[in-house]
Structure 1
């Protein structure tokens, strides 16, 4: 950069440049960051893929995560005064000024490093290389030594760099911020991520610097299958995430609690796109004492709302625990597909029927999840991972399956014939018809004469017939009973049947015509005479 201070370069962090200047998904990155006109119109209600990537970078505690949440318009990244809270890159899709982008919050750049800092910076560099736009976040005031070194490090990325000075609420520090132009920046933007000052100007600058020509609509048939890796700490979630993505995006360590934010990544398996959500380990509430871990656990649980399928990671040596059962129950309530993943299976003695014994024990301890498939794997060496992903593909097909009302009610007639509802005076009910109201999660509604009389046993019978006859063997099924008046068409059919039966029993009445029928008591002389009009007498 023109005018940048010399002598503070960081040779061990010189970025690995690509000859073709291409993003990881094959899109070419422009040589110069120039504003582009965007004639495309995007619908916020739709999903899109091949989005331009916007990475937020800077030293720790300058407000990157706060700015990330501000642009995303929701609290996704964990924010805390403690420096270095963000470790793994946190990604999310956002709509900015009517345009879809892929936002990435990166870990802070440090000079003095310890623990995971080297790994954090390595992940940050990988993110910067694949980004279409880098938003350098600085703090109002004089730049620090870390700022200066990071500015020098970003010199090769100047063609796609946007400089933002944060914490300028109410104009504080704006005057001093213009001194940053001496580092060779063409322009700077002053904002306050906490209070929202000048965020709209920043959003316009971001969109003007991006190319949206490669963006495509993400329809239901091609949309990503979203898989959440959830479980107790140190069960191998990050190891599995890196294995199936073929990257080292998630930091892996034997220390429980390494992952804090939800780390999202994408991969393709058998021509099907997946999005994997690597979450923080979930411990019992009594063991969660730090604020950072509290927010990490909340973020992990929240991914159940975003995922299609949950890989519940279980340590094969430890087996199913009460905490695993609570996590599975949460996923079951939300209608998510659940695969019980027995990780570290290579550490179990490989004796005959060992897997069958482990499966039987899990089903015995957790009968509610008997439908959930169990897959043994070793995330470290990849054993069983292909079988796990094949199971996920079959499960997603069941989650998105739709049954037409006609075939469903034909099956229902057979079910009611095989096991009729109870016939007691108070427990008798009639199921008139059923329909599917949603897929993923799968929900069915049964219209019945007395919903309160339908017991759990009969609902369980219907759910089992769904699994056996209609191909929903691996997923949770939600069944709702609603009260309903008799179907008008069915009622008319019943009346006609009664009339035909009565005519056969009493042919003389049928010959007499409608006047003689008991269900149409019209006198022989014609319609009933009208009551004569009575004049109202005046009051008083």
Structure 2
């Protein structure tokens, strides 16, 4: 069964993202006193009194607008309304009722959904007279809160969980694969997610920087559950001017840290740039399973050597990530997009793989027989045994006689032998060497 979905909607700048962060228990949505900062639906898992639900933040609704971004924000908010079980309609309790509030209320009444009217920015125990204006909307008693100070949040959540449908699952869920879609601005990350999901779940525009937040989108294929995290494109530091851009980069890096698998989306027309290599480095340093997605492959002029030439160039420029599979796709036409889910499952399994100590030591023993460890000044490196101590990524501790004798080239040889034996496609592995007795 699906979890209950709670959507936060309202006109711009009434404090929706602040409330979202308060209910999610962490700072996920970008919060800035500037209309239009939250453009997409942003997802998070939330909990109250041991009941778990999915929370959606939306861009501010501007009912009558011809602006391309604002009109898509309205469309995203409408999709959130359509999928929600409970809607939190947030208004500014200090500013009072506006014509836009009335139009949003009309949208909500047509939806026939359960709606709670939330008057935000009530920062004192004294209720301002403006709050009574909202009875005119016919959406029940306004619930006074202060999202920034946390006032009234408990009462609001009590009201929310009372409205959950009985056929929804509110239990804690494990086994979800978190997938961060990372890359430079305008590489096609949002288009790729929309193609995989089969619907317009995130805003797609050819204006670079459209996605400013890291957006969590739950998705299920059969028994396999995923959360796709569409991240803001990471720009070069010198090109980051706005505060919002800085927040977006931080959010993208945080998304990498939260993820199990990273899809590194690269524009095939530009091939691998220095910035792509830096973004790949973030994923590698954080020990994440990674798939290299070469997007816009349909736009590349090809001959019989194009594929091999691209593959060689990618491997040279991302030499530290030789374990990552490469997939040439087109998010626009759908070319090879159907292979991505199976590849995600494969690299996620490798990322979580455990090897028994006995089998691991058989492989290490064979490797030592084939290629004797180095020696220095009459002393030879001795390898006693190894054991796996962690996953995500797989981590191994190998006990030796003298750390000074472990040469980098032999360390790489052992890693290659372990990879050859167990695969580990798509995931880095970590080897740590300790002197016996440490």
Alpha-carbon distance between aligned partners in 2 of 1:463 and 1:313, rounded to the nearest angstrom: 27
Judge conservation of contact 1:90–1:104 (CA < 8 Å) in 2. Answer: yes
CA–CA distance in 2 between the matches of 1:173 and 1:213?
37
Larger Rg belongs to? 1
Alpha-carbon distance, 1:405 to partner: 1.1
- 1:317-354 Cα offsets, whole Å, 9 max, x none, are 11101111111111111111111111111111221021
Identify the residue that residue 70 of structure 1 maps to in structure 2: 22
Partners of 2:51 and 2:170 within 8 A in 1 = no
Question: Is residue 123 of structure 1 aligned with residue 72 of structure 2?
Answer: no
For residues 184-199 of structure 1, the aligned pairs below 5 Å read 184-199=138-153
Q: Tell whether the 8 Å contact from 2:90 to 2:118 is kept in structure 1 after alignment.
A: yes
Is 1:132 paired with 2:92? no
Q: SS at the partner of 1:193?
A: coil
Of 292, 317, 322 in structure 1, the residue corresponding to residue 244 of structure 2 is: 292
Q: How many residues align?
A: 436
Task: Tell me the equivalent position of 2:353.
Answer: 401
Q: Which runs of 5+ in 1 are unaligned?
A: 1-26, 28-49, 487-540
Structure 2: distance between partners of 1:181 and 1:251: 34
Conservation of the 8 A alpha-carbon contact between 1:57 and 1:137: yes
Residues 351 and 427, structure 2, Cα contact 8 Å, conserved in 1: yes
The answer on 1:372 being equivalent to 2:324 is yes
TM-score by length of 1: 0.77
1:45 equivalent in structure 2: none
Counterpart pick for 1:150 among 80, 99, 104: 104
Q: Could you tell me how far apart the structure 2 residues matched to 1:158 and 1:345 are?
A: 44
Aligned-partner SS, 2:375 = coil
Contact conserved, 2:178 with 2:259, CA < 8 A, in 1? yes
Mapping 1:318-337, distance limit 5 Å: 318-337=270-289
Contact 1:51 1:102 in 2 (8 A): yes
Query: How far off its partner does 1:415 sit?
Result: 1.5
The CA deviation string for residues 65-91 of structure 1, in whole angstroms up to 9 with x for no partner, is: 000001111110011111011111000
The structure-2 alpha-carbon separation of the partners of 1:427 and 1:139, relative to structure 1 and needing over 3 Å to count, comes to farther
Go from structure 1 to structure 2 and tell me whether the alpha carbon gap of 1:86 and 1:227 turns closer, same or farther (over 3 Å shift): same
Larger fraction in strand: 2
Tell me which of 49, 57, 61 is aligned to 1:97: 49
Aligned mates of 1:102, 1:449 — CA distance in 2: 52
- Counterpart for residue 457 of structure 1: 409
1:367-412 C-alpha deviation (Å, 9 max, x unpaired): 2122211110011000011233332222122112211111111222
* In the alignment, structure 1 residue 478 sits paired with structure 2 residue 430: yes
Task: Judge conservation of contact 1:426–1:453 (CA < 8 Å) in 2.
Answer: no
Q: Distance in 1 between matches of 2:113 and 2:308?
A: 58
Report if aligned partners of 2:15, 2:147 keep a CA contact under 8 Å in 1: yes
> Kindly tell me: are residues 270 and 375 of structure 1, through their superposed partners in 2, closer, same or farther at Cα, counting changes over 3 Å?
farther
Contact 1:235 1:343 (8 Å CA) reproduced: yes
SS of aligned partner of 1:116: helix
Are the structure 2 counterparts of residues 253 and 135 from structure 1 closer, same or farther at C-alpha, using a change threshold of 3 Å? same
Q: What is the CA–CA distance in structure 2 between the aligned matches of 1:424 and 1:159, rounded to whole Å?
A: 75
**Partner secondary structure for residue 350 of structure 1:** coil
Confirm or deny that 1:210 pairs with 2:164: yes
- The answer (yes or no) to whether the contact 2:4–2:170 under 8 Å persists in 1 is no
Unaligned runs of 5+ in 2: none
C-alpha distance after superposition, 1:203-260 (max 9, x if no partner): 222222224653276766xx23222111111111111010000011111111101111
Two-structure CA RMSD over aligned residues (Å): 2.0
For residue 131 of structure 1, report the CA deviation from its aligned partner.
0.6
Instruction: Specify whether residues 159 and 274 from structure 1 end up closer, same or farther in structure 2 by C-alpha distance, changes over 3 A only.
Output: closer
Q: Distance in 2 between matches of 1:70 and 1:376?
A: 41
Q: Partner of 2:34 in structure 1?
A: 82
Structure 1 contact 266–276 (Cα < 8 Å) conserved? yes
Pick the aligned partner of 1:250 from 189, 202, 205: 202
Q: Offset of 1:189 from its aligned partner?
A: 1.1
Q: Distance in 2 between matches of 1:161 and 1:280?
A: 31
- Following superposition, the deviation at residue 107 of structure 1 comes to 1.2
Q: 1:363 aligns with which of 312, 315, 319?
A: 315
Does 1:315 pair with 2:315? no
CA distance in 2, matches of 1:472, 1:337: 9
2:3 partner SS: coil
For residues 317 and 413 of structure 2, the distance between their equivalents in structure 1, rounded to whole angstroms, comes to 21
Residues 97, 203 of structure 1: 8 Å contact kept: no
Give 1:112 deviation, angstroms: 4.6
